[in-house]
Amino acid sequence: MRAAWASGAFSNQDNYRKSSQYELLEPVLGKGLVTSSGELWQRQRKLVQPMFAKRHLVPFADHMAAAGGDALDAWGREYADGTAVDVAEEILHIGLDTVGRALVGHDFADRAGDFGAALGNVLHQVGAIGRSPGVTVGQYLPRMTVQRAAALTQPRRWRSGVKSADVMVGIVGDIIDDRIRNGHGEKDDLLRLLMEAEVEGTGERMDRQQVLDELLTFVAAGHETTMHGLAWMTYLLSQHPEARERMEAEVDEVLGDDAPTAEDCDRLPWTTACFQEAMRLYPPVWHVQRVAIEDDVVGGYRIDAGTLMFVSIWSTHRDPKIWENPAGFDPRRRLGDAPKQRPRFSYLPFGGGRRVCVGQGFAMMNATILAAMIAQRFRFDLVPGAKIVLDPTVTIRPLHGIPMRIQRRR
């Protein structure tokens, strides 16, 4: 089925709806773009997509660079050369502050720990609940939903996840309420765009709850997926010093000691390619689930109505029929015309089809800017003997972090 997906054989996408597993994320993401469907999703997608046009992205770059600079300054003050740090955790903190400043004009530095821990727990619990046989089977019983099955068969995990979701909702909700009370002022950020967006023809605006759902979706997804991609890239570069040296040389030549801008991203192709290759090997969202509405045939296989389709992005990204040396780290795969030589859906870090991630341009700019800034100042090497264990929840996380030793470059 991997080859069928990669070649674009799934052409009848209207026949597939999101699986019930996405409902497990509703306590934190509400009815945002990730969890919604049907007319609500179509309306929201139409409202939100223009907000990530390039004209809006360019000003975000300054916020990204400012947040990155503050965080790297703190690393320089707090960590002596040779200190072991959890790169995954440290980069997640940078990411939340970066996303916060760019999307809501807010410095998350004082709440990054609370928000990040809550999000990590939500994803861990949801992942475990989603794999539970009791939830998988119980949701199909009469008068049962996947959330009720989770609460009944996995009560501790469900309560823990909901409690963490409440923390996230409270943090972001406070930001929205402050904006409602005091206005936008000089802030020209995503929150303002969300609150002022109007449905064409009616002038209708999103209510507070819908703004909250969408904002939580972008803050959570934007910081979780991109920053884990950066953490995996840092780990991979430590295992491939020649790729790291080429990236450092590119950053030194293009930027010197200057902070990167939006325009600089196009001048950092190797840096971007290293991040993209990291997302191939460790795709932040490693699978998607869909349910067939009617009978279908995909790649010669009969698909009965009601069949749960599990599309493994992880497996597609490592398929030897598509990728030479599929488990190897080779950023050259993303340079020049190389991506055009492969099937359309062979590379899916942001999904595909009409539900492709609306924020992928924002994510790529954020990742390139932060990757370049880290390379300007620091180099990381894996702590000898460290064991990296995958935690395949909603995203691919390192279960016990990524312990690495920090070293200043300049």
> CATH number, domain at 90?
1.10.630.10
Q: Which of 101-110, 111-120, 325-334, 367-376 has the lowest mean pLDDT?
A: 101-110
Distance (Å, rounded) from C-alpha 38 to C-alpha 27?
19
Tell me the C-alpha to C-alpha distance, in Å, between residue 108 and each of 94, 177, 210: 9, 16, 21
Residue 173: give the domain boundaries. 2-408
Average pLDDT over residues 40-68: 87
Phi, psi of 388 (to 5 degrees): -95, 120
Distance (Å, rounded) from C-alpha 246 to C-alpha 259?
19
pLDDT per residue over 248-305, tens digit each?
A: 999 999 999 999 999 999 999 999 999 999 999 999 889 998 999 999 998 888 999 9
Distance (Å, rounded) from C-alpha 102 to C-alpha 192?
11
Yes or no: say if 62 and 70 are a contact pair by the CB < 8 Å rule: no
Higher pLDDT pick, 375 / 311: 375
Question: According to the model, what pLDDT value does residue 320 have?
Answer: 96
DSSP-based three-state secondary structure for 308: strand
CA torsion, points 343, 347, 351, 356, in degrees to nearest 10?
A: -70
User: What's CA 177's distance to the chain center, in Å?
Assistant: 26
Distance (Å, rounded) from C-alpha 303 to C-alpha 2?
15
Distance (Å, rounded) from C-alpha 351 to C-alpha 358?
10
- Identify the DSSP state of 15: G
Distance (Å, rounded) from C-alpha 109 to C-alpha 198?
32
Average pLDDT over residues 63-86: 93
DSSP-based three-state secondary structure for 344: coil
Average pLDDT over residues 349-371: 91
Please count the structural domains in the chain.
1
Question: According to the model, what pLDDT value does residue 140 have?
Answer: 87
DSSP-based three-state secondary structure for 298: strand
pLDDT at 384 over 90: yes
Closest to 407 (Cα-Cα) out of 94, 76, 90, 71: 76
pLDDT at 358 over 60: yes
Yes or no: say if 104 and 215 are a contact pair by the CB < 8 Å rule: yes
Question: According to the model, what pLDDT value does residue 8 have?
Answer: 53
Q: Say how many Å lie between the first and final Cα of the chain, rounded.
A: 49
Closest to 162 (Cα-Cα) out of 193, 122, 202, 115: 122
Neighbours of 129 (CB within 10 A): 24
One-letter-per-residue 3-state SS of 230-294? HHHHHHHHHHCHHHHHHHHHHHHHHHCCCCCCCHHHHHCHHHHHHHHHHHHHCCCCCEEEEEECC
pLDDT at 364 over 90: yes
CA atoms within 13 A on the CB side of 42: 4
pLDDT at 401 over 60: yes
Q: What angle do CA 16, 130, 236 make, to 5 degrees?
A: 90
pLDDT at 2 over 90: no
- Identify the DSSP state of 9: -
pLDDT per residue over 335-356, tens digit each?
A: 999 999 999 899 999 988 888 8
